[in-house]
Amino acid sequence: MIALLQRVSQARVDIAGQTVGAIGPGLLALVCAEPADTPAVGLKLLNKVLKLRVFADGAGKMNLSLQDVGGGLLIVSQFTLAADTSGGNRPGFTHAAPPALGESLYDAFVAAARAAHPQVATGRFGADMQVHLVNDGPVSIPMRLTA
């Protein structure tokens, strides 16, 4: 699975003018499943996301995790993270999981996140979403985990 984590002071997802998910300080996680991914890969990624030390401690060093600071987690599906831009000017998306598999893995990731962390919000898989965020830092961390 691929993720792009952004430390935010706030973030929200709107669909058709309605806010469907919002958080205050925390992490926005844009996630993309790939064809060989499994729920176990998603769980491995989630554990990394929750424990990644990207928040400042008392000395101002990035030494605290999302769980340490009790921040929100906004999870948004984004198949374009698997874009192949190696040929031509139009990206290809064959490296992203097919929609049914992608949705299943996204749903499993969200369910595991809700079981492990008290403050989880989401977008909606496959929807046309507008993601609003205030990147704190800015801090943006790309991640890719495989089985």
pLDDT (tens digit per residue) in 60-100: 999 999 999 999 999 999 999 999 999 999 999 999 999 99
What per-residue confidence (pLDDT) applies to 147? 74
Catalytic residue numbers? 78-80
Kindly report the pTM of this predicted structure: 0.96
- Is-contact 19 66, C-beta < 8 A? no
What per-residue confidence (pLDDT) applies to 34? 97
Q: What is the CA radius of gyration of the chain?
A: 15
Percent of the chain clearing pLDDT 70 (strictly above):
100
What per-residue confidence (pLDDT) applies to 130? 98
